[in-house]
Amino acid sequence: MSGEDVSAGMKSHGRLSIRESRQPRDLLAEPQVRGAWTAQVITLFPEAFPGVLGLSLTGRALAEGLWNLRTTDLRPFGIGKHRNVDDTPAGGGAGMVIRPDVMDAALREAGPGLPVIYLSPRGKPFTQDRARQLANGPGMTLICGRFEGVDQRVLDAHDVEEISIGDYVLTGGELAAQVLIDATVRLIPRVLGNQESLAEESFSDGLLEHPQYTKPALWEGRAIPEVLLSGNHAAIAIWRRDMAERLTKERRPDLWRAYGETRMDPAKDRQLSGASDQSRNYREHQEEPKR
């Protein structure tokens, strides 16, 4: 009934600890790498994990014991013969709401010690800064909602943080949970092969990332910007910074305002505004239908 260790059977490092659980078989299925960052997921669909998290860099890091992944199946905590986990909304309305007693039992089984996060479209937007904060902690417990959500009382009782990954609605929180885990795990030391890449990607310094290019130098009549082939690292750094600022101003005014409050020279802001207008006019001209 308690968490299923998704990394069971994988290579592990360090001393292992086995946590108490309600069923004897779980004692054999729950080895954990002591001290490793842990993602614990409460879900009606534990089979959805690790999913894409078991592939590539995050999957390798999971196998090497750099982080732990546990799932807690919500269904066994359900009420009655059919293990119902939800009921109709108080006050009427469509859909069903996950019961507070059911979620409370699952949270208590998951145990204390980790921040608890509920994936919800009404939550605070997830950011790179929040991912860094979570990566620097011991881990997190994620609640994957379904139906119309979770009874507010259990969220209040457990001081649950609500986080959104965007202004849209999914059928459940499992995909959102994997987004949070991926964004956070990749910040854990040794998970990425090249830690320097973290310093240059989008949001690392409040800006979107500059455009990227690779071989061939000329493709379909489109050339790599000459500065990137010049070997002049100072000029390349300046170009990349300018492009990052230009893209951020054009595509994410919210980020640009926050960036401009502390770092942007007003004269350069006006210069980039003119460049963005020229770029937009050029694209519109290129997209005009030929007659």
Burial grade of 136 (CB within 10 A; 0-12, 13-18, 19 or more): exposed
Q: How far is CA 35 from CA 11, 14, 16, 46, 137, in A?
A: 16, 9, 9, 23, 11
Reported confidence tier of residue 26, pLDDT bands at 50, 70, 90: very low
170 is annotated as contributing to ligand binding: yes
Indicate if the pLDDT at residue 109 is higher than 60: yes
Q: Closest Cα to residue 87, out of 96, 78, 75, 76?
A: 96
pLDDT of residue 50: 97
In the chain the domains, ranked by start, together with CATH numbers, are 4-185 (3.40.1280.10), 199-286 (1.10.1270.20)
Q: Is 167 annotated as a binding residue?
A: yes
Torsion angle of C-alpha atoms 284, 287, 289, 291, degrees rounded to 10: 80
165 is in an annotated binding site: yes
- What average pLDDT does the segment 172-201 reach? 86
Q: Is the pLDDT of residue 190 over 50?
A: yes
Phi first, then psi, for residue 149 (nearest 5°) are 120, -160
Q: Is 168 annotated as a binding residue?
A: yes
**Model confidence, pTM:** 0.78
Return the percentage of the chain with pLDDT > 70, whole number: 75
pLDDT of residue 191: 95
68-87 pLDDT per residue, tens: 999 999 999 999 999 999 99
Q: Is 242 annotated in some ligand binding site?
A: no
The pLDDT value recorded for residue 205 is 80
Lowest mean pLDDT among 40-54, 220-234, 258-272: 258-272
Q: What is the pLDDT of residue 193?
A: 74
The pLDDT assigned to 22 comes to: 38
User: 236 labelled as ligand-binding?
Assistant: no
d(CA 208, CA 240): 11
What pLDDT does residue 30 have?
42
Q: Is the pLDDT of residue 3 over 60?
A: no
Task: Summarize the confidence of residues 178-198 as an average pLDDT.
Answer: 87
User: Given a cut of 60, is residue 286 above it in pLDDT?
Assistant: no
pLDDT at 126 over 80: yes
pLDDT the model gives residue 64: 95
CA distance 41 to 70: 6
Q: Say if residue 59 carries a ligand binding annotation.
A: no
Mean pLDDT, the chain, whole residue set? 85
| Residue 23 in this model has a pLDDT that exceeds 50 | no
- State the DSSP string of 254-285: HHHHHHHHHT--HHHHHHHHHHHHHHHHHHHH
